[in-house]
Chains A and B, each alone.
Chain A
Amino acid sequence: MHQIAIIGAGPSGCFTAQALAKLLPEARIDIIDALPVPYGLIRYGVAPDHQGTKAVIRQFERLFERQGVGFFGDVRLGETVNLEALQGLYDAVVLATGLSADRRLGVKGDDLPGVLGSGVVTRALNDHPDANPVTISERVVIVGNGNVAVDLVRLLAKGAGEFHGSDLSEAAAVQCGDVRRIDVVGRSPSDAAKFDPVMIRELGRLEQAAIHVHGLSGEGKIVEALQHLEGHAPEGATCEIHFHFGWTPEEIEGATHVTAARFRQGDARMVLPCDTVLTAIGFEGDTPGADAEGFIAPGLYATGWLKRGPRGTIPENRADAQGVAARIAADLATVTPAKPGRDGLLALVPGAVHYEQWQRIDAAERAEAPEGRVRRKIPTIAQMRSIAQQTGES
């Protein structure tokens, strides 16, 4: 029996396991994650009010519940275990640890208090255990023209009553509660904005935000969707959203804290007074230099954002994972299985959180869901561990 370890239980790791389970039904597949809980950015990135997108988790539950794939959480590669040890235990090791560091704006003042990266903010609003609470004040500038920028706009502009059926926690709601004005500024012209039109359309259902779109140019689906938003003005709106296109960030102003963000378009300047700047211009980090099929070195592979860079949606990760799995299956055809796999891992990391223990955490989160919410995430690693270690039925 071949033993395969996948490091990272985000969508890429899980889709790789799914494809491998099909290609190699005899193999034993273990997914390892640094957190005691699985699913990566599906749990901690995808917006709390997009539960339908998170529902892809049902596919992954089947892997663990019916297909014998192992989950071992609270095991951090590089700390709890090292790569060499894992390669000694498994015939193939797949790195699927993603890329989570926010790309910096790269202008003067981008490190002032009040400037926050979208990763930091979305982790906080999703109750990631490593996230510190963020302070988002009344006047917010969001730099970036992608879907994460739209997620932020929506989460900040929604009123308390607009989160029905989500898993936004009370703590997160407090962090994004009092925003009065949001300016969304993109470097490219409107027809080159990377928003998904359907995400823009969704803003047209905001119940307490008035929307103004400045400087539209060109045509296409995104421009049409933006045109449609212009003038959205629900009665009693408490928040204003302004979209601006074609402005390059020049400087974040402020002595001890952000006071304004300055942009340039040719010779023109735009200064937006604000207390918070959110950058949603993508993520960065080192990639391990895998080829198109995910091959790094014999027995070592990469998939997902770690392999391709921090771009692309869940479906793209699925297609990519299937390609990587096919390569692994082909390579393993010439490998005689002789490694200890799971037994060796458990000897090495006896404290790993198993799938059944995650199910206990999951059940506790659902049971403690506040009114109108589908769950309340357990906010700290210590509490997760403590629930995981409770014995007997609860």
Chain B
Amino acid sequence: MQIAVLYGTETGNAEMLAEDIASHLSDHDASVTNLSDFDPAGFDAGTFYVVVTSTYGDGELPASAQPFAEAMEAAKPDLSGIRFAIFGMGDSEYPETFNYGGKRLEEILTGAGAERVGERVTHDASGSDMADDLALPWIDEILSTVDA
């Protein structure tokens, strides 16, 4: 199964995690792409998407995910048959909008007909967990159900 890791970031935390997920999944030859370079027309049903995004401003998507959100809004592609897992990055110092970026992106994808696999998990920048320690077991678990 082909795996594509897509990330939205501002200061690079989500990018580093996306790269770590991809190297962890090296058996799958996973690619890593910034959402700012990803065209919604490029979704492919044979690929499993792992999406990692942070949150900014008032619970908004990070800068690198915004062009993607706009392109989705404009193109309104039909993503039925597309499967994805999503991992959010946020900071509980912003309790009212904690991890809204991940939530937003999930809504955009499922709103277009894509299917979320597994739970959406969130990393808290103010917490003591390293993002990798949460995300790598999370993706292994998800892929064990998808591979089957």
Least CB distance from B86 to A in Å reads 20
**Are B96 and A18 neighbours in the complex by a CB distance under 8 Å?**
no
- Asked if A311 CB lies within 8 Å of chain B CBs, one says no
Binds A, one of B44-52, B74-82, B104-112, B124-132: B124-132
CB of A59 within 8 A of CB of B63, answer: no
Q: Are B126 and A55 in contact (CB under 8 A)?
A: yes
The secondary-structure label for the interface of chain B is loop
Give the number of chain A interface residues (Cβ < 8 Å).
Answer: 23
In this assembly, does B16 line the interface, its C-beta being within 8 Å of a C-beta of chain A?
yes
CA distance A229 to B94 in the complex (A): 16
B33 on interface, CB distance cutoff 8 Å: no
Hey, which chain A residues are within 8 Å of B58, CB to CB? 197-198, 201, 221
Query: Is B10 in contact with chain A by the CB < 8 A criterion?
Result: yes
Contact of A56 among B13, B94, B97, B126 (CB under 8 A): B13
**Within the assembled complex, what's the spacing in Å between the Cα atoms of A53 and B94?**
11
From B63, B92, B96, A52 is in contact (CB under 8 Å) with B92
Q: Chain A residues with Cβ under 8 A from B126's Cβ?
A: 51-52, 55, 165
Q: Is the CB of B93 within 8 A of A315?
A: no
Q: Closest Cβ of chain A: how far from B61's Cβ, in Å?
A: 13
Q: Give the most central of B57, B58, B94, B126: most A CB within 10 Å.
A: B126
Given the known interface contacts A51-B126, A52-B124, A55-B13, the answer about A315 and B96 at a Cβ–Cβ threshold of 8 Å is: no
Check B11 for interface membership: any CB of A closer than 8 A: yes
Bound together, the chains give a CA A165 to CA B92 distance in angstroms of 12
Q: Which residues of chain B from 82 to 97 have any CB-CB distance to chain A below 8 Å in the complex?
A: 91-97
How would you classify the secondary structure of chain A's contact residues: helix, strand, loop or mixed? helix
A201 partner residues in chain B, CB cutoff 8 A: 58, 96
Residues of A within 8 Å of B97, CB to CB, are: 198
Option from B12, B13, B94, B130 in Cβ contact (under 8 Å) with A15: B12
**Chain A CB within 10 A, most for which of B11, B57, B91:** B11
Closest to A322 in B: B12
* Interface members, chain A 33-81 (any B CB < 8 Å): 49-53, 55-56, 58-59, 62
Contact A59 B91 (CB under 8 A): no
Known: A201-B96, A314-B11, A318-B12. A52 touches B57 (CB 8 A): no
CB neighbours (8 Å) of B57 from chain A are: 196-198
Contact indicator A52/B125 (Cβ below 8 Å): yes
For A50, the closest partner residue in chain B by CB is B93
Per the bound structure, the CA–CA distance linking A18 and B57 in Å amounts to: 25
Taken residue by residue from 303 to 316, chain A's Cβ proximity to chain B (1 for < 8 Å, 0 otherwise) reads as 00000000000110
C-alpha gap A50/B93 in the complex (Å):
7
Asked if A202 is at the interface (CB within 8 A of a chain B CB), the reply is yes
Docked-complex contact A315 and B125, CB < 8 angstroms: no
A388 to B112, CA, bound (A): 56
Interchain nearest-CB distance for A202 vs B (Å)? 7
Cα separation A30 to B125 with both chains bound (whole Å): 28
In the bound complex, how far is the Cα of B97 from the Cα of A159, in angstroms? Answer: 24
Interface contact A18-B12, CB-CB below 8 Å: yes
Known: A58-B130, A196-B57. A53 touches B12 (CB 8 A): no
Closest residue on chain A to residue B62 by CB atoms: A315
How far, in angstroms, from A205 to B125 measured CA to CA in the complex?
Answer: 19
B10 lies within 8 A of A53 (CB):
no
Contact of B91 among A52, A58, A62, A196 (CB under 8 A): A52
The answer to whether B63 touches A315, judged by C-beta atoms less than 8 angstroms apart, is: yes
Q: Which residues of A contact B11 (CB under 8 A)?
A: 56, 59, 314-315, 318
Q: Which residues does chain A contribute within 8 Å of B92, judged by CB atoms?
A: 52
List of A residues within 8 angstroms of B93 by Cβ: 49-53, 202
- A205–B13 Cα distance when bound, in Å, is 27
Chain A positions within 8 Å of B63 at CB level:
315
Within the complex, the shortest CB–CB distance from B65 to chain A, in Å, comes to 13
Most chain A C-beta atoms within 10 Å of own C-beta, residue among B93, B94, B95, B124:
B93
- Let me know if A198 and B16 touch, CB within 8 A: no
**Closest chain B residue to A224, Cβ basis:** B58
Closest 9 CB pairs of A and B: A52-B125, A52-B91, A315-B10, A52-B126, A55-B125, A56-B11, A52-B93, A315-B11, A314-B11
The 6 sampled A-B contact pairs (Cβ below 8 Å) are A53-B93, A55-B91, A55-B125, A55-B126, A198-B97, A202-B93
